[in-house]
Amino acid sequence: MRKYFITAITAMKGQTNGGIIYMFPNILVSLMYLLPLMFLWRVIAADGTDVGMTLKQLLTYTYMNALLSEMLVVRTLASSWNYEGQLISLFARPFPVFGQLMAQTIGGWIPMLLIFSLPMLVIAPLFGISIIPATVWFFPSLLLCISLGFAIDFIFACVTIRLRGMAWLGHSIRMAIVSLFSGTVIPFRILPFGLTKIFEFQPFGSLGGAPLSLFVGTTEPAQIIATQIFWNFVLWPVAIFWFAKSKERQVSFGG
């Protein structure tokens, strides 16, 4: 276990090697996403339309998404390391590749959690944001979301390996799909045309949107947790099997 811990610590320190000031753009981007969206909900609520969620729920949903964004849609460095030729070096180390990537990713979350999320959590009540989850099922749901996020990320890493030099294609498709279908930006609950149910049951719907909807109390925990468990059971074997098949297709010249 120690080796995973050391990897995580190294990744954490790597985020601030150039100084904390170099994390400022990420913080600014997070704020720049958060503010317009929070005001968008206020504008929609002010129109008096029945949104299906209270304003407080909408604000809390968006706020918590900004604070936990890296956990709600997990992104490891597997795809970019494959493109840059670094992924192969992980095979030379005496512990599993998935384990290294997971430790590295989790360690990388810590600086933003400490520098951005924690202070924002403290001041959240000033904006009328509830920082207490509506149900304790939020916590297991978040763990299932993170677990599924890793599985999906490894599947996309396999896509990148198969695409060889076209890594950006996989990246483009992934970013576009995930931003819409994970429900992290726009809650499924307020979608038109009866899309709510369809979006909740597709695999990406068990990512960020699932724990967030439990946090604000707009969905039944049983349905969400069951769906998340189902997709974890389906996609983890796919990720493990496909990665095992794909790893020998990696090409690296370094540089």
Partner 1 sequence: MVKIKRVLRLYALYAKMDLAWLLRDTTFAVLAVLADVITNLSSVTGVFLLAWRFDGIGGMSRFEVLFMLAYATIITGIFQTFCAGGNVGHISRRVGRGQLEHMFIQPMLLPAQLATEGFIPFSGSSNLISGTVIMIIATVNLGISLPWWWIFSLIGNLIVTVAIVLGKSYLASSLTFYAPVQAEEISSYVIDSFGHISTFPLSGMPLYLQIPLITFIPTGLLAWFPTLALFGRAPFNLPAWYPLLFAVVLWMIATYFFRKGLNFYVKKGINRYHAMGHRR
Which residues make up the interface to partner 1 (CB under 8 A)? 18, 22, 25, 28-29, 32-33, 35-37, 39-40, 42-44, 46-47, 49, 51, 163, 166, 169-170, 172-173, 175-177, 179-181, 185-186, 190-193, 195, 254-255
| 116/66 Cα distance (integer angstroms) | 10
Q: Which two tokens stand for residue 165?
A: 């030099």
| Cβ proximity to partner 1, 193 vs 222, nearer residue | 193
> From the CB of 196, what's the least distance to partner 1, in Å?
11
| Cβ proximity to partner 1, 55 vs 163, nearer residue | 163
Q: Decide: helix, strand or coil at residue 219.
A: coil
> From the CB of 191, what's the least distance to partner 1, in Å?
6
| Cβ proximity to partner 1, 106 vs 189, nearer residue | 189
> From the CB of 255, what's the least distance to partner 1, in Å?
5
| Cβ proximity to partner 1, 47 vs 248, nearer residue | 47
| Cβ proximity to partner 1, 37 vs 101, nearer residue | 37
| 223/17 Cα distance (integer angstroms) | 43
> From the CB of 228, what's the least distance to partner 1, in Å?
22
| Cβ proximity to partner 1, 8 vs 216, nearer residue | 216
> From the CB of 142, what's the least distance to partner 1, in Å?
23
How many CB atoms are located within 10 Å of the residue 117 CB? Answer: 20
> From the CB of 76, what's the least distance to partner 1, in Å?
18
Amino acid at 249: R
Whether 27 and 48 have beta carbons less than 8 Å apart is answered as: no
| Cβ proximity to partner 1, 196 vs 228, nearer residue | 196
| 40/194 Cα distance (integer angstroms) | 22
Any idea what DSSP says for residue 248?
Answer: G
Angle at 66 between CA 114 and CA 39, to 5 degrees: 135
> From the CB of 62, what's the least distance to partner 1, in Å?
12
Q: Decide: helix, strand or coil at residue 76.
A: coil
Any idea what DSSP says for residue 208?
Answer: T
Q: Which two tokens stand for residue 76?
A: 């490891």
Q: Which two tokens stand for residue 75?
A: 């992104």
| 105/85 Cα distance (integer angstroms) | 18
